[in-house]
Chain A
Amino acid sequence: MTRSINRSIARRLAMMFALVALSVFTLVGSGLFLVMRSQLDHHLRESLDDRMEIAKIIVYHSVTLDKWRMAREKLTDMSPRDGATMYSVSSDDPSFHYGAPVQGRVTGSWPGGYTRVEPAAGGPAMLTRTLVVPPSGVRPAVQLQVSASCQPNVRTMRAFGAALTALSTLGSLAVLLLSYSVTRIGLAPLRRLTKDASEVSPNNRSQRLNTASLPHELDDLAHSFNGALERLDGAYGRLESFNADVAHELRTPVTILIGQTEVALTRNRSVEDLRHTLQSNLEEFERMRGIINDMLFLARADQGERATGLVEVSLAAEVARTLEFLEIPFDEAQVRAVSRGDAFAPVNRSLFGRACTNLLMNAIQHCAPGDTVTVTISRHEDQVRIAVANPGQAIDPSRLDHLFDRFYRAEESRTNSRENHGLGLAIVKAIAEMHRGKVSVESANGVNMFAFSVDAPRVDVQAAQEVPAVPTIQAVREPVMTVERSSVVSGHGVTPEPAPAGR
């Protein structure tokens, strides 16, 4: 029960409003109550003063015994029967006495000689004032006491207090009920959002929250939620097409395998023919193995696996190693390679080499003979960036974001799809992420640049350290001006001088 109350915003708000209303009513009521009581007390003292004034004049003029008798009669006439007002006169002379002064516990006193007395004999509390009337004629000095009952005031205050309490309670209850319904009306857009959100499902991925006519407090929430849906939708869509792509990539080799094996088995084939079939099969199996291994690699990277076996190395030396490996493809494509800059970073050398290989192969594929591929290694705070740039046609900006997607092919008909099944750049991205880095691509001024970065928190001071000499690719470091050298092999054989002609 408590849970459901806590969970309902409307109920909680109503409760809180009611509590606030109750506090305010109590505060105002208490104030009113105090003002009322002080006003009534003031009024009582004023009426006591009036009577005291009259009684004083009567007693003052009783200068003879006759006049004192008349004064006593007047005082009796002035005293109401219910005892709401009482007069008493006392003096040393027993003949100048009237009534009996109120005696009992004093419960309060005010300046001007006012005291509040709880009569010892019982009955309501009385407000009293006592004056000494100086002697005159035969009359000695007398003490004149006038007292008035507080009973009417007490009764009024009690009724007033009860009325205030009842009204506050009723008012709070009214606030509770009204604020509950008002809050429910106010929360109606939230219920609508909830209904919209509950309709989102994998079968209904395009469903979005309707943000029209939403109060601005909910607008942000709805937009964030829609943004999250958009991203999830995108990821889900990519996953779906990824699965379709994988199936498609595997379908081709499997079709070839089934087909050519069936053909081979339908007739009596020569050993040579069967060997051909098996060799062709093996090529398809190798291709499938490549796809499976790459997929497993990407899946592991997706699970957030980090690169292990990190070694702090000169990245220029690693790039040079990769360029050495790719010497032949560069040579065949008649493309040159230049490496600039250096930085030290902890990397898994094998993974790093693989990322460089993929980027460089990608660059070669988009180069024309005579072009130069430039590798630039630069530090950006805690990251080292390896950028591979090659001259090429501008890439459509809408495609830039997708170039690192799996199976994404910039050109639909890629000639080398047999060798590279469209996962090369996706693997670069995975390797960058395994090193807590990122990938980026830029296309401007006729140069396309693909880059990845690796995390390298340590500030290295050895950036100028020499890297091992590489036979054909000259590593150029800033700020030295670029000195380029062709990567074309030119006599780095084991025999420096020409082989002897004779036998």
Chain B
Amino acid sequence: MKLLIVEDEHKVVDYLRSGLTEQGWVVDIALDGEEGMHLATEFDYDVIVLDVMLPKRDGFSVLKALRMRKSTPVIMLTARDHINDRVRGLREGADDYLTKPFSFLELVERLHALARRTRSQESTLISVGDLFVDLIGRRATRDGVRLDLTAKEFQLLSVLARRQGDILSKTAITELVWDVNFDSHTNVVETAIKRLRAKLDGPFRTKLLHTVRGMGYVLEVREEAELL
């Protein structure tokens, strides 16, 4: 998927480019508003990441001009955490909004969410190795054995399974599972993961649910070598 980043801070541009390229995005960079406007209108992108404070032409103006021609999804970035900025951005056609400091994972979440909007319906039966998650029947089996999960544990598992291979941050998990979208300073996610892991991976040799320290959790089949 193709992505345009309009941002003037070189360090931000560098880590976004390398991080997103590794995640499989094709990344174009514009370092000021004029260039961003030019690239955004000339080429077709799946998502545009647009900073508000830009040299030559600010993000709001770029967004306004862009919206007259295209409906490419846009995520606005800003250091100013004012409701007015947010309202203005969303009113003028931004699809999402991130306030600095934001985490890289959070940005990836939002990008996925925006790109998914146009994607086809995802499957209702997900498999990760020998784990099968039936989203409609609301049941999970591993190696043919049904897992005895609570409602929340199943929801947590399905959220991780839908995005298998992607690291999900604590914030994203809280939002997707509990519909809580603030930093709660609690250990709810850690404990929920611990309990799910006991049921999911406890009796099995191959572990599927992995912790990425400081970032979040990922559900995937890993190479044996890595596990040892």
B178 touches A325 (CB 8 A): yes
Q: How far is the CB of B122 from chain A (nearest CB, A)?
A: 20
A289 touches B101 (CB 8 A): yes
B214 touches A280 (CB 8 A): yes
Task: Say yes or no for A259: interface residue by CB 8 A criterion.
Answer: no
Q: A176-193: contact bitstring with B at CB < 8 Å (1 yes, 0 no)? A: 000000000000000000
Most A-side CB within 10 Å, residue of B99, B101, B195: B101
A282 touches B215 (CB 8 A): yes
B150 touches A492 (CB 8 A): yes
The dominant DSSP class at the B interface is loop
Most A-side CB within 10 Å, residue of B149, B178, B179, B185: B185
Task: Say yes or no for B187: interface residue by CB 8 A criterion.
Answer: yes
How far is B151's CA from A353's CA once the two chains are assembled, in angstroms? 21
B149 touches A493 (CB 8 A): yes
Residues of A within 8 A of B152 (CB): 327
Which among A292, A294, A419, A489 is the interface contact of B101 at CB below 8 angstroms? A292
Which among A282, A305, A503 is the interface contact of B144 at CB below 8 angstroms? A503
Which among A283, A294, A493 is the interface contact of B154 at CB below 8 angstroms? A493
Task: Say yes or no for B138: interface residue by CB 8 A criterion.
Answer: yes
- Looking at the complex, which of A15-23, A59-67, A94-102, A494-502 is the stretch in contact with chain B? A494-502
Task: Say yes or no for B213: interface residue by CB 8 A criterion.
Answer: yes
Nearest A residue to B87 by beta-carbon distance?
Answer: A308
Decide yes or no: A424 and B149 within 8 Å by CB, A283-B214, A325-B180, A494-B139 being known contacts: no
Residue pairs across A and B with Cβ atoms less than 8 A apart, 6 shown, are: A300-B82, A329-B186, A329-B191, A492-B151, A494-B138, A494-B140
Near A by CB (< 8 A), chain B positions 119-177 give: 138-140, 143-154, 174
Nearest B residue to A351 by beta-carbon distance?
Answer: B182
Q: What are the 9 A-B residue pairs with the smallest beta carbon separation, nearest first? A: A282-B214, A279-B213, A279-B214, A328-B191, A493-B150, A325-B178, A354-B182, A494-B154, A499-B146
Q: How far is the CB of B107 from chain A (nearest CB, A)?
A: 13
How far is B152's CA from A489's CA once the two chains are assembled, in angstroms? 11
How far is B146's CA from A280's CA once the two chains are assembled, in angstroms? 37
Task: Say yes or no for B81: interface residue by CB 8 A criterion.
Answer: yes
Nearest A residue to B181 by beta-carbon distance?
Answer: A350
How far is B82's CA from A279's CA once the two chains are assembled, in angstroms? 31
Task: Say yes or no for A357: interface residue by CB 8 A criterion.
Answer: yes
How far is B174's CA from A420's CA once the two chains are assembled, in angstroms? 17
Residues of A within 8 A of B186 (CB): 326, 329, 357, 361, 419
Decide yes or no: A471 and B151 within 8 Å by CB, A329-B188, A424-B185 being known contacts: yes
How far is B194's CA from A332's CA once the two chains are assembled, in angstroms? 12
Interface size, chain A (Cβ < 8 Å): 45
Q: How far is the CB of B125 from chain A (nearest CB, A)?
A: 15
How far is B84's CA from A305's CA once the two chains are assembled, in angstroms? 11
Task: Say yes or no for B183: interface residue by CB 8 A criterion.
Answer: yes
Near B by CB (< 8 A), chain A positions 266-286 give: 278-283, 286
Decide yes or no: A495 and B146 within 8 Å by CB, A282-B214, A305-B83 being known contacts: yes
Nearest A residue to B169 by beta-carbon distance?
Answer: A286
How far is B38's CA from A353's CA once the two chains are assembled, in angstroms? 43
Residues of B within 8 A of A495 (CB): 139, 146-149
Residues of B within 8 A of A118 (CB): none
Beyond A290-B185, A357-B180, 17 additional contacts (C-beta under 8 Å) are A324-B178, A325-B180, A328-B191, A329-B186, A332-B187, A350-B181, A353-B182, A354-B184, A357-B182, A419-B186, A419-B187, A489-B150, A493-B149, A494-B138, A494-B140, A495-B148, A503-B145
Residues of B within 8 A of A109 (CB): none
